[in-house]
A and B are shown apart, each in its own frame.
Chain A
Amino acid sequence: MRLALAVFALLAAAPWLGFGEGHSLTLLARGMILGIAALGLWLLVGGAGLVSLGHAAMLGIGAYAVVVLDDARITDALVVVPVALAAAAIFALLTGAVALRTTGVNFIMITIAFGQMAFFTASSLALYGGDDGYTLYGRNTIGGARWLQDRLVFHYTCLALLIACFLLLRMLLASRFGRVLRAAKESPLRVEAIGFNPYPYRLLAYVVAGMMAALAGVLLANATEFVAPSYLAWQRSGELLFVVILGGLGGPQGAVVGALALVLVEELLSDLTEHWRLIMGPLLVLAVLFLPRGIAGGLAGVLRRG
């Protein structure tokens, strides 16, 4: 928790710590948005032991909800956000109902399958640009006011939503719902013996995760003002998974830390050389070898001692 507080405090102060320019704020926004999506995935992976490689599809659904409504000239966030969340919830409910009947590697492959199906569908929608993507006419308005167009306002909006999602997850974890989920992750057999059927709990977790990703999708569409089908590709799902693993599965703060770390390190390295992946790859490997509890785990250790 202390780690999370530190991170949020830094993010809040960031505009005055040298990140005040438009580009830097966009960078942090991307990090925070990735964090929101990663939080949802963490609920599945760390909270329920379900490794999903189709999470990007939910994010993409949120982004494309913005696109579809933008094309229909509806830009009010008060309409767009509920629509996006609902769309993702329905998709998660339908696909989760099927996917959760499988376990292990099969579950991973089924989530890939659904993710790919969403991706190919988005790619074939020539109306919304297909493979070439869609440029938004502008960011979403809030009740008619164009507040989100201001970089600083957008920054704090993202931060507020990130904190909200984080708190929501902590609440869920501490509740009975969270405990059943975690117990089912350890041993589904024992949980069933006690009389709980893990299936509806997992399905609910799947839907909540999907909705969080969709929220991230809406914010991403607003941040870049451009949406492409590649937002749903399996490589992006992989990226989200890596962020969660890299950050550490111990708690939701891992997702946030992992997301910010990835975005910032990428930016730093790509500045140094165009072959930055030559450094990034080994860094990832070293992180796995020497930080078994992820970056958050490592940092938390430092904070405890320091």
Chain B
Amino acid sequence: MVAFGRRAALGGAAALALPGLARAQAAGIKIGLVAVLTGQQAALGTQLRDGWLQGMKHLDGKLGGIATETLVIDDELRPEIAVQKVRAAIERDKVDFVVGVVFSNILGAIARPVTESGTFLISTNAGPSTLAGRGCNPFLFATSYNNDQVHSVMGQAATDRGVKRAFILVPNYQAGRDAVAGFKMRYKGEVVDEVYVPLTQLDFSAELAKIAAARPDALFTFMPGGLGVNLVRQYRQAGLANIPFLSTFTVDEAVLPAQQDAALGFFSASTWAPNMPSPENQRFVRDFEAGYGYVPASYAAHAYDTAFLLDSAVRRVGGRLSDKDAVRTAIRAADFRSVRGPFRFGVNQFPVQDFWLCQVAKRADGKFQTETVRKVLEMNVDSFAAECRMST
């Protein structure tokens, strides 16, 4: 479960267990894994961490054949804490790559400190539009998606279903606003109301009352982690389940154990689902469940992919990480087999991939997961790539 001690040394990595302010450098590779492991959204960060660790297990604790140590950093979903800890990881622990980040505001806060120090930042989940477009950076990669893209998938799916009146409910922060913008990109009907709630919201009774009063054709919502748990449960309790629940990141495997039957039949948009048939994915899901005891979500799947991505990149440069340009080219090549299927990087170093409509189902063993219903977008390039002015 929770590793005692901040360093999770794996495979033959030289373990630096001595406290003290002067540290010796190990010969292997060091990864700083940033994720939220505290608070309402802890389940998401745990997924991310475990997905990465599973990848490292399948790689025998080595990237490109070199022993690798992972420093797990809990950002506590507080930007100032994240900045402090990440700076320490770069300056004191001298990590070679910073990987992770569930939430976009954390990514936004650490982006400049990491990239300005010449360290590569690989986001395995957060993909804010600011960093996909004008804010793109040669030291920043995303292996997940651009946030708006996923929401646009739901917008497309809503249009395909013939939804004419939609009610929108999202949290009041950048990713929430991205969700609305993304949804509207492909949703062509009427938006009955747009409601923004604080990230710390626990009680949705006010908003549910509004939804009941408005009687929309469907609800579109983006409520990651604990927010989704409360919303889904209260939605079902308030008797609103007859209004289709179209969501992104709200009914994923990270929160399904808490939502259980309340979420059955609800929809979600994603790059991946556990039931995808490829051999890489089946191996991942099977060993992940065996090792960690719960169903992986996209947070884990993307982190798993990132391990293999970096493995291929390190192998390509023969372990010589000091030549940053060469490392960048190697990462861009994306020479690995993703659990999602086809994967490559766009000009803004964000992924180009397929997107699916998924639905919550109950498995034979009683556990819940999302399952693919149909492909909505194929090899989709995010809409901000054009704004990226990176020269290469």
Contact = CB atoms under 8 A, between A and B. Distances in A.
Contact of B79 (A132, A225, A268): A132
A224 B109 contact: no
B80 A273 contact: no
A23 B79 contact: no
Interface string A20-35: 0111101000000000
Residues of B in contact with A, size category: 20 to 34
B173 A273 contact: no
B2 A21 contact: no
Contacts of A230: 78, 80
Contacts of B111: 135
B173 A131 contact: yes
A274 B6 contact: yes
Given A268-B19, A271-B19, A133 B92 contact: no
Contact of B109 (A24, A133, A273): A133
A97 B120 CA distance: 51
Q: Which of A132, A273, A274 has the largest count of B CB atoms less than 10 A from its CB?
A: A132
B21 A24 contact: yes
Contacts of B20: 271
Interface residues of A, number: 26
Interface string A130-170: 11110100000000000000000000000000000000000
B382 interface: no
B278 interface: no
Contacts of A227: 80
Contacts of A21: 21-22, 91-92
A161 B93 CA distance: 30
A119 interface: no
A31 to B, nearest CB: 13
A224 B5 contact: no
Interface string A111-131: 000000000000000000011
Contacts of A131: 105, 173, 199
Contacts of B6: 270-271, 273-274
Interface in A213-245: 224-228, 230-231
A19 B91 CA distance: 13
A133 B80 contact: yes
A220 to B, nearest CB: 10
A300 B6 CA distance: 36
Given A271-B19, A274-B4, A275-B4, A23 B109 contact: no
A226 B4 contact: no
Contacts of B113: 135, 225-226
A272 interface: yes
Nearest to B5: A273
Contacts of A282: none
B4 A19 contact: no
Interface stretch (B57-65, B82-90, B263-271): B82-90
Contacts of B78: 228, 230
A224 B199 contact: no
B2 A274 contact: yes
Given A228-B80, A275-B4, A22 B105 contact: no
Interface in B145-184: 173-174
A275 to B, nearest CB: 7
B328 interface: no
Contacts of B5: 272-274
Contacts of B3: 274
Interface in A257-273: 268, 270-273
A46 to B, nearest CB: 28
20 contacts: A21-B22, A23-B21, A23-B88, A23-B91, A24-B92, A132-B79, A135-B109, A135-B111, A135-B112, A224-B84, A225-B83, A225-B113, A226-B83, A227-B80, A228-B79, A271-B6, A272-B19, A274-B6, A274-B74, A275-B4
Interface of B: 2-6, 19-22, 74, 78-80, 83-84, 87-88, 91-92, 105, 108-109, 111-113, 173-174, 199
Interface of A: 18-19, 21-24, 26, 130-133, 135, 224-228, 230-231, 268, 270-275
